[in-house]
């Protein structure tokens, strides 16, 4: 029996990609579509908005109107909406997969409090490749140690509103953890002017924005006389959407708790 999927942010770029993949997969079916109240697509058929033709699933203006405990909600909206959707999922004991990023400290604290109360996957990037990169980055940092300087560079499309990306921050924390450092204390976000020599234990975080770049992330380990670079490039949003559907299919059979893509993929944390 196909698993019901509810897409939040249904009319956005990621939402339309998700709806297309849900409709194509024999393992899933679209069970609901949600957009922010007041937007022009409210009431339209989600399939038509996604360019598929009629799916007989109208876009509604509240997750409350679509949520079901036997369907998995996928959230790729924004930080405030994601926390609100998680709150609704907890109230209905429904599973939810969250890929939104850019949380404030208060929003992050609320996410941490709510996520274990229902079946929740939270991941800043759900592509399989990025999650393998996280494992490689941890291993490289552990092996190279303090003799190599870590720098992280990411580029996304001009419309992305948060910086650095959630994925870049996740990579930075992975490096810091492997090196026994406190990421919040050693992260340096860009450099300008006479900043002096690079200090020991810094982790550089560089952000680029432009065009329609889906998302490229490079972790550089710069040593004396050599440099190691590990790069992941997203060529389309399909890789993120496929990862989200994989997470949904896995999550439906899990007990309540907060999970990561490492859990979904069976990778070490």
Residues forming the active site? 156, 160
Q: Are 190 and 207 in contact (CB under 8 A)?
A: yes
Residue 263: closest CA among 249, 240, 252, 247: 247
HSE on the CB side for 18, CA within 13 Å? 35
Give burial (CB, 10 Å; 0-12/13-18/19+) of 147: exposed
Instruction: Give the integer Cα–Cα distance in Å for 154 and 231.
Output: 10
Instruction: Give the integer Cα–Cα distance in Å for 7 and 34.
Output: 6
Instruction: Give the integer Cα–Cα distance in Å for 136 and 152.
Output: 14
156 contacts: CB under 8 Å, gap ≥ 6: 165, 208, 209, 213, 214, 215
3-class secondary-structure state, position 171? helix
Q: Are 3 and 249 in contact (CB under 8 A)?
A: yes
DSSP state letter for 58: B
Structure tokens at 123: 């991941």
């Amino acid at each position: 029996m196909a698993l019901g999927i509810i897409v939040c942010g249904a009319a956005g770029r990621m939402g339309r990609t998700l709806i297309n993949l849900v409709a194509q997969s024999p393992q899933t079916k679209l069970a609901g579509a949600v957009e922010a109240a007041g937007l022009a697509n409210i009431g339209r058929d989600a399939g038509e908005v996604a360019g598929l033709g009629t799916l007989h699933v109208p876009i509604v203006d509240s997750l409350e109107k679509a949520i079901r405990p036997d369907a998995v909600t996928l959230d790729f909206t924004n930080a405030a909406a994601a926390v609100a959707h998680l709150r609704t999922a907890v109230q209905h004991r429904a599973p939810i997969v969250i890929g939104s990023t850019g949380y404030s400290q208060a929003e992050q604290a609320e996410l941490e409090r709510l996520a274990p109360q229902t079946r929740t996957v939270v991941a800043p990037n759900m592509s399989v490749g990025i999650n393998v990169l996280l494992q490689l980055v941890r291993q490289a940092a552990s092996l190279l140690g303090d003799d190599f300087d870590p720098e992280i560079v990411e580029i996304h499309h001009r419309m992305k509103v948060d910086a650095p990306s959630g994925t870049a921050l996740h990579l930075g924390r992975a490096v810091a953890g492997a090196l026994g450092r406190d990421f919040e204390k050693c992260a340096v976000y860009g450099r300008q002017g006479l900043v002096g020599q690079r200090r020991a234990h810094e982790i550089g975080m560089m952000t680029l924005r432009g065009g329609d770049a889906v998302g490229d992330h490079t972790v550089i380990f710069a040593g004396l006389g050599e440099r190691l670079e590990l790069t992941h490039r997203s060529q389309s949003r399909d890789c993120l959407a496929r990862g989200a559907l994989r997470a949904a299919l896995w999550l439906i059979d899990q007990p309540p708790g907060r999970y990561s893509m490492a859990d979904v993929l069976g990778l070490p944390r």
